[in-house]
Amino acid sequence: MKFGILEIKYSFEPLPSSPVSDNASLYRALITDTEEITLQIDSHPVTIPPFSILYISAEAVISFVSGHDCHFYFLYFSEVFYRRTSFDEDLLKSELTFNAARGFNIVTIEPELQPYFISQVRFLNEIYTTKNLVVFNDLIHSVIKQLLLVGTLMGTKDESMNDYVDLDHEIVRSFRLLVEEHLSTEKSVAFYAEKLGVSSRRLSHACKTVLETTPKQFISRCIIKEAKRRLLYTSESVREIAWKLGYEEENNFSAFFMKETKLSPSTYRKAYHKGA
């Protein structure tokens, strides 16, 4: 397993093809701060705007255009270090992150999210300097996932931006996967918007366009669907189901279920079994 992040503050010397060895087995990303920088990627000059992420394919050779000051972060990690689920693998293999045909992809972070993402990258750098990676392993994984999600949601397969409707579908696809993963612990629209690297308003627009519903309504629908499944196909008590869906108080869960279905959980279970 391998992970590292380097903070680079000047450019008077050429940057080697990678600050780490064994490039082919590593995923590399460069994150700019307040200044744009210029690199040579496979001998072609590429300018990365401020507050942007450059995803570099394994085969690409990078070198620095020396002669001017700059500040950026260089992140690298192995697949073994990062991949835990099939969703993680999808992010790594996406054409919008590391598998672009041209050898790289550039994504500029939305202005309202720039302070958050830069603070997360700086935090990664602080963690790495402590060398206490085992303790922070889950946190590191979470931040890297957010950086990859930004690529899949805002990235381009060519020099022009993706069609806005296609981007809506990408946002909703990732939103649904995240809801499935965090449903029992997180029900806030703001949480999912932050994970996706978009504003709550942008997430709401995508959901209304693709699903014809709001993010909050979609989350509620997923909770009810899972609650019904457990009521009908398990012997778990209403209290147990409430707890597994993230409700500390059974009464709060029952009130939510009643509001959405017009029946209490117990009544719903009894009515189904009676009809069966």
Spell out the per-residue pLDDT of the chain, length 276, in tens. 588 898 888 655 444 444 444 445 688 999 998 888 888 876 678 889 999 999 988 777 777 765 566 789 999 988 888 888 888 888 888 878 887 766 788 999 988 888 989 999 999 999 888 877 777 888 899 899 989 988 787 765 444 434 445 678 888 889 988 998 999 999 999 999 988 888 888 899 889 988 889 999 999 999 999 999 999 889 999 999 999 999 999 999 999 999 999 999 999 998 876 655
Do the Cβ atoms of 242 and 224 come closer than 8 Å?
no
Tell me the whole-structure pTM to 2 decimals: 0.56
User: What sections of the chain are H helices per DSSP?
Assistant: 79-82, 86-93, 114-130, 137-154, 164-182, 189-196, 200-210, 215-233, 238-244, 250-261, 265-275
N- to C-terminal Cα distance for the chain?
52
The pLDDT value recorded for residue 275 is 55
* Tokens standing for residue 90: 């999808």
The pLDDT value recorded for residue 227 is 94
CA distances from 52 to 34, 115, 144 (A): 9, 12, 14
